[in-house]
Structure 1
Amino acid sequence: MNLKNEIENHLTSIARDRDPYLATAGHFFVQEYIRQQFAQWGSVEIHTFKVGSKTCQNLILNLPSQPESEKRDLPPILIGAHYDAVPGTPGADDNATGIAVLLELARMFAAQPTKYPLRLVAFDMEEYGLLGPSGASEYAAELRQQDQPLRLMISLEMLGYCDRTPGSQTYPSPLERFYPNRGDFIALIGNWRTIRDLISISRSIRKVGVPSHWLPVPNRGLILPLTRRSDHAHFWDQGYPAMMVTDTANMRNPNYHKPSDTIETLDLDFLTGVCQGLESGIRYL
């Protein structure tokens, strides 16, 4: 099985208008696609939450750890990606790429478990999360309320856009002094508690040939608001160790939140490398 082809197949099914309010048919189609993919590897849990009068769904697949780890009752690693998109865009990079990698990681880790149990979550309503409840904010709050520990939360947020031209990468000041000006790397952004994991996963991604840089941020990212723009921030707010894996969105990708965010604009070799690097990095934790 060719990983790049598998990822491309997922993208073809997911990249479509799927705003939860204005493109309900596309949204439902993608929800069902994820549910069917997850269902190959175990029973799919549906976590429902309300946004106003609308009922929304997070889709959850729990994968067991290696048999020898089960006795130790280790906390799970949660890997999440959002499946909604803004109105009027097929959302290929944002965030069909995150979901495609999530689905491939499910397949890989179902076949060969890791030391930690894994919880893979497809979150809804991320794009509306700044305006009200999101799938991640509701789920993180519920985990905290139940006092459930997590080894780590990893948010997969736009993973497929790469531009090797000098000057293609921008930053909020003063980060441009410390990081490269070509948009050809994958970024890992985590809270202080994840520093060792940031270094370790970054190293695994580089080993497969994809450049990777990491950034630890203090105080839940409040000093650099751009670092909070995904589902991981809700886990920071609840005190969990969490990181975002990202191609840096609009700081690199000119198609961000536009109708032009199509599969053709993505670098599928780069995306495949990110997926391989994440798999080995998560196995290594």
Structure 2
Amino acid sequence: MRMAMKKKGLKVAASLLAVSMAFGTVGVAATANTTGPTSGKSSYSQDQKIVARVDAERAIEHVRYLSEEIGARPGGLAAEKESAEYIYNTLKSYGYDVEYQYFPVADQYIAEVAFADGTSWQMAAGPNGKVSDDAVKGEVIFVDGGSSLNDFPADTAGKIVVMPRAATTAGYRTQVNNAVEAGAAGVILQSLVGSRGNYGQTFNPSLDKKVDIPVFGAAFIQGEWLKEQLAEGPVELSLTAEQFSNLQSVNVIATKAPKGKSKDTKEVILGAHHDSVVGAPGANDNASGVGLMLELARVYKGYNTDKELKFIAFGSEERGLLGARHYVNQLSQEQKDKIEAVFVPDMVATSYEPAKNLYVMTPDGSRNMVTDSTTAAGARLGNSDILPGTFGSSDHVPFHQAGIPAALFIWMGVDSWSPLVYHIEKVYHTPQDTIEDNISPERMQSALDVIGSGLFDVVRKDVPALNK
């Protein structure tokens, strides 16, 4: 999910939410729709064709491979290509026609922080800092401040300085310039906790001038871990940074042909981004969406569908929805007109307790085939976890802007006592977005049931007996 940010049968009334944020706008409808619109095609027995077969643990095995075997998957880098290859091979093994779709992306500045025991962390590097394969080694000191030269100890020279970053760009530039003047061998700026309690992610420090030392942007939790190690004794680090240029990111597209096809045959898409931010293994954001997509692809392969169905893993969502934008932009108007609905699961399995509802969100809060089919599926299944809402920051946006019905699925919570407080897990976009810290099998199962049933109701081959 690109942004600065369960129970079945539980009926939750959510207050109206409208929050303008740097990463998008969120709004939530006032009440759960426990009845939902009916499509005229669905029945409980039809839903069971999906519910009886989808398996959260199988979906989480995909999450495990992406987040643990591969790890952080920044758009355009080798790990994202490895992710694409895994998704390609999985879909191919199910019998789908699969293709890669490449597109260019901007340079990445990646930092590696290595410890004496051989472990290493990924951070983001400042382009105006030292970017070189030559390692800068030194002992770590923690400076709680940095806005004044007096904040730095007399023995700063040759040390690697870790500082909580100032709240503004101008402020942390002053911190870096003072560290350079104090003789620091390198600077690691610790990201801050957000206003809603979310832990800050890695970032590329934007410096106002070139400096001859590496300057890295660490996730908040990485700074905390460094402080814990310093409390136990001296810490030695080795810092390297690299600029990656001439990059290509990649979408993976699998197609399921309909039982019969004519010039009027419609198309439906289930798409989830497979990249993550720098330094984050991205278990929930968004290996969870990919895991859900792959599990539904496995199940759907055995059923006839009346519409062409595409499963798409989008690249570089975290860099500006680039994969989805590229996909939409290369379509002709005729191809756009054939797309009937786009389902976008993004962050669909968090274990964060306050994020207690699965939302189906459109950029403007409007209803469409995606919202109606899944809300109705939730009602039929007795699952009132799913609520409608407004959200404008994920891969559904480029489709919506092109006039194509699309919606996002995400777990979120809203405090009933305050319409301006919402909950998304505090560890998203951080090294703690792991299966252990941030994945719930129960919530994955709920998402599979509701999204899978709603999607199937849209694409399935109409069998009259199932409507009785």
Q: State if a TM-score over 0.5 links the two structures.
A: yes
* Structure of greater Rg: 2
Determine if the alignment matches structure 1 residue 284 to structure 2 residue 457: yes
Q: Could you say which residue in structure 1 is the equivalent of 2:274?
A: 83
Indicate which of 50, 56, 60 corresponds to 2:253: 60
- CA apart distance, 1:56: 1.9
Which one-letter code corresponds to 2:87 in the other structure? I
- Alpha-carbon contact 1:64-1:113 (below 8 Å) kept: no
CA, structure 1 residues 248+140, in 2 after alignment: closer, same or farther (shift >3 Å)? Answer: farther
- CA apart distance, 1:17: 1.4
1:256-276 residue CA offsets vs partner (Å, 9 max, x unmatched): 111111111211111122112
Indicate which of 65, 74, 78 corresponds to 2:265: 74
1:19-66 residue CA offsets vs partner (Å, 9 max, x unmatched): 135xx443232111101011122221221211243222111001122x
Give the distance between the partners of 2:305 and 2:365, measured in 1 at CA.
24
- TM (norm. structure 2) is 0.50
Q: CA RMSD in A?
A: 2.3
Q: Could you say which residue in structure 1 is the equivalent of 2:207?
A: none
Give the distance between the partners of 2:430 and 2:424, measured in 1 at CA.
14
Give the distance between the partners of 2:428 and 2:332, measured in 1 at CA.
32
Equivalences for residues 19-38 of structure 1 within 5 A? 19-20=74-75, 24-38=77-91
- Alpha-carbon contact 2:342-2:370 (below 8 Å) kept: no
- CA apart distance, 1:70: 2.8
Give the distance between the partners of 1:71 and 1:238, measured in 2 at CA.
24
Identity of aligned residues (%): 25
Which one-letter code corresponds to 1:30 in the other structure? S
Secondary structure in structure 2 of the residue aligned to 1:70: coil
- Alpha-carbon contact 2:370-2:405 (below 8 Å) kept: no
CA, structure 1 residues 2+201, in 2 after alignment: closer, same or farther (shift >3 Å)? Answer: closer
| Higher percent of residues as helix | 1
After TM superposition, the structure 1 stretch with the greater mean CA deviation from structure 2, 142-151 or 250-259, is: 142-151
Give the distance between the partners of 2:442 and 2:281, measured in 1 at CA.
20
Equivalences for residues 43-192 of structure 1 within 5 A? 43-52=97-106, 53-65=246-258, 67=259, 69-71=260-262, 73-129=264-320, 134-145=322-333, 147-149=335-337, 150-164=339-353, 168=354, 183-190=355-362, 191=364
- CA apart distance, 1:147: 4.2
Give the distance between the partners of 2:59 and 2:369, measured in 1 at CA.
29
Give the distance between the partners of 2:268 and 2:279, measured in 1 at CA.
33
CA, structure 1 residues 245+197, in 2 after alignment: closer, same or farther (shift >3 Å)? Answer: same
Q: Could you say which residue in structure 1 is the equivalent of 2:411?
A: 247
Q: Could you say which residue in structure 1 is the equivalent of 2:96?
A: 42
Which one-letter code corresponds to 1:140 in the other structure? V
Secondary structure in structure 2 of the residue aligned to 1:258: coil
1:206-255 residue CA offsets vs partner (Å, 9 max, x unmatched): 5164611012x5xxxxxxxxx11111111111121111111149832111
Structure 1 runs not aligned, ≥5 long:
169-182, 218-226
After TM superposition, the structure 1 stretch with the greater mean CA deviation from structure 2, 266-275 or 94-103, is: 266-275
| Higher percent of residues as strand | 2
Q: Could you say which residue in structure 1 is the equivalent of 2:377?
A: 204
Point out 4+ residue stretches in structure 1 off by more than 4 angstroms: 144-147
Secondary structure in structure 1 of the residue aligned to 2:319: coil
Which one-letter code corresponds to 2:251 in the other structure? N
CA, structure 1 residues 253+103, in 2 after alignment: closer, same or farther (shift >3 Å)? Answer: same
- CA apart distance, 1:197: 3.6
Give the distance between the partners of 2:388 and 2:54, measured in 1 at CA.
29
Secondary structure in structure 2 of the residue aligned to 1:20: coil
- CA apart distance, 1:80: 0.7
Determine if the alignment matches structure 1 residue 214 to structure 2 residue 394: no
- TM (norm. structure 1) is 0.80
1:162-192 residue CA offsets vs partner (Å, 9 max, x unmatched): 444xxx3xxxxxxxxxxxxxx2211001256
- CA apart distance, 1:72: 7.1
1:83-139 residue CA offsets vs partner (Å, 9 max, x unmatched): 000011110000000000111111111111333211111000100016xxx110111
Which one-letter code corresponds to 1:246 in the other structure? I
- Alpha-carbon contact 1:82-1:126 (below 8 Å) kept: yes
Which one-letter code corresponds to 1:156 in the other structure? P
Give the distance between the partners of 1:263 and 1:147, measured in 2 at CA.
38
- Alpha-carbon contact 1:58-1:135 (below 8 Å) kept: yes
Which one-letter code corresponds to 1:159 in the other structure? V
- Alpha-carbon contact 2:59-2:295 (below 8 Å) kept: yes
Give the distance between the partners of 1:186 and 1:244, measured in 2 at CA.
10
CA, structure 1 residues 19+11, in 2 after alignment: closer, same or farther (shift >3 Å)? Answer: same
- Alpha-carbon contact 1:45-1:60 (below 8 Å) kept: yes
Give the distance between the partners of 1:197 and 1:128, measured in 2 at CA.
25
Give the distance between the partners of 1:260 and 1:84, measured in 2 at CA.
16
